[in-house]
Amino acid sequence: MKRKDFLKKSALGITGAALLANTSACKNEAAVPLVNMHSNTVFNWRMTTVWGKNFPVFGESCNLFAEWVGKMSGGRLNIKVFGAGELAPGLQTFYTTSVGTTEMGAGGAYYWQGIAPAAPFFTAVPFGMNAQQILAWLIGGDREGYELWKEVYAPFDLIPLLAGNTGVQMGGWFNKEINKATDLQGLKMRIPGLAGKVIEKAGGAAITVPGGEIYTNLERGVIDATEWVGPYHDYKLGLNKAAKYYYTPGWHETGSQLEFIVNKKAHDSLPADLQEILFTASLRVQAWVLAEFDAQNGAYLEKILDSGTEVRRFPKEVLDVLREKTDEVLAELTESDPMAKKVYNSYNAFRKKINKWSELTEKAFYNDIQK
């Protein structure tokens, strides 16, 4: 999508009067000089997010990022965090940051697939890399993944920063057993993004359901299944009370990378040390988010098991079909968009290379060492 088309289309999705008021306030509070900057200049920024205010881990990480940037900069760069709906709808985060209404945003790249088809590779790809591998692709070696990420966002005047990874997610909650591939046919599942297209190719229906409505729709049979995140968030949403079976593995999100996005003009207006602080704070968030997910998921899995939930594994036959349909979805995506093809070629080449190493180390650890 061309930038002018993106701007025109996105603008229609924002409530005019409310945004105008917020834009005005933003300009008054967060304007930054572009020339003759002094090292003692104080910058006041706003960050809008896809997440609800203080949403566990996701929203909390935004608050921590702002806190750490403020401390490391000695108060020279202050970031005020706004949850979804406070300044603009959550899924307008990309637009508001691109045009400079807010200097920063937080979310996941796969939310912007309709704007930039290559974006999902920077969050999650079905049967893709895990958190450790994705990080290696993004910032290890020659940082090829991160450079491609910046290239994808450059037409929208945005710079991406790392914002954590959920790790491998669970496969979802089901009110019907999945024993064979044909059980996917007619399945009504809340599952977004590329994985939703995979389910549709397997004969199911991908249903769009807001997070706040998942429990009710699952309980009432509007949907047969849903994916969410992992034990911590799933338990808090009460999904163990609405569905009987908890399936693994999370083939659809094997390591979901989160992001901060920065308006390029605002970023370039900062002194070099503050730019470095932004990047450094993002790496601290990257470490904290994955650690917090693992710690909380381990604790809440016990609660889910104690509640009587049956944990099931997807049969190999089912995973084989889902993998086959994933290949079809990725082929269609990369054939239709040159940038998506460029990113996928890099992603896939790195995945094949690092999987050889993981086979000898990580897989051996889980299969032969850990008990």
Q: pLDDT of 46-92, one tens digit each?
A: 999 999 989 999 999 999 999 999 999 999 999 999 999 999 999 99
d(CA 172, CA 189): 9
First vs last C-alpha separation in the chain = 50
Higher-scoring residue by pLDDT: 135, 212: 135
Q: Judge if the upstream peptide bond of residue 249 is cis by omega within 30 degrees of 0.
A: yes
pLDDT at 24 (0 to 100): 35
**Would residue 322 count as lying in a domain?**
no
pLDDT at 4 (0 to 100): 57
pLDDT at 138 (0 to 100): 98
d(CA 294, CA 162): 18
Domain tally, the chain: 1
Instruction: List the CATH number of the domain containing 21.
Output: 3.40.190.170
**Would residue 185 count as lying in a domain?**
no
Burial readout 100-127 (b: 16 or more C-beta within 10 A, e: otherwise): bbbbbbbbbbbbbbebbbbbbbbbbbbb
Q: Which of 179, 169, 301 is nearest to 248 (CA)?
A: 169
d(CA 141, CA 147): 12
**Would residue 156 count as lying in a domain?**
yes
Q: Which of 250, 231, 248 is nearest to 293 (CA)?
A: 231
**Would residue 182 count as lying in a domain?**
no
d(CA 183, CA 10): 38
**Would residue 80 count as lying in a domain?**
yes
pLDDT at 1 (0 to 100): 60
Q: Which of 258, 220, 352 is nearest to 55 (CA)?
A: 258
State yes or no: pLDDT of 5 exceeds 90: no
Give the residue-averaged pLDDT of 279-304.
98
d(CA 168, CA 127): 10
**Would residue 174 count as lying in a domain?**
no
Q: Report CA-CA distances (Å) from 83 to 165, 183, 363.
A: 19, 39, 39
Q: Which residues pair with 43 in a beta bridge?
A: 77
What is the extent of the structural domain holding 163?
A: 3-30+41-168+255-295
pLDDT at 209 (0 to 100): 78
Give phi and psi for 48, each to the nearest 5. Answer: -105, 150
pLDDT at 341 (0 to 100): 98
Asked which of 31-35, 39-43, 122-126, 173-177 is least confident by mean pLDDT, the reply is 31-35
Higher-scoring residue by pLDDT: 340, 18: 340
pLDDT at 63 (0 to 100): 98
**Would residue 321 count as lying in a domain?**
no
Per the prediction, the chain carries an average pLDDT of 91
**Confidence band, pLDDT 50/70/90 cuts, at residue 19:** very low
C-alpha of 185 from chain center: 28
Q: What are the helix (H) ranges across the chain?
A: 3-11, 16-30, 58-72, 93-98, 131-139, 144-153, 193-201, 214-219, 231-237, 264-268, 272-306, 316-336, 338-360, 362-364
> What's the pTM?
0.88
**Would residue 332 count as lying in a domain?**
no
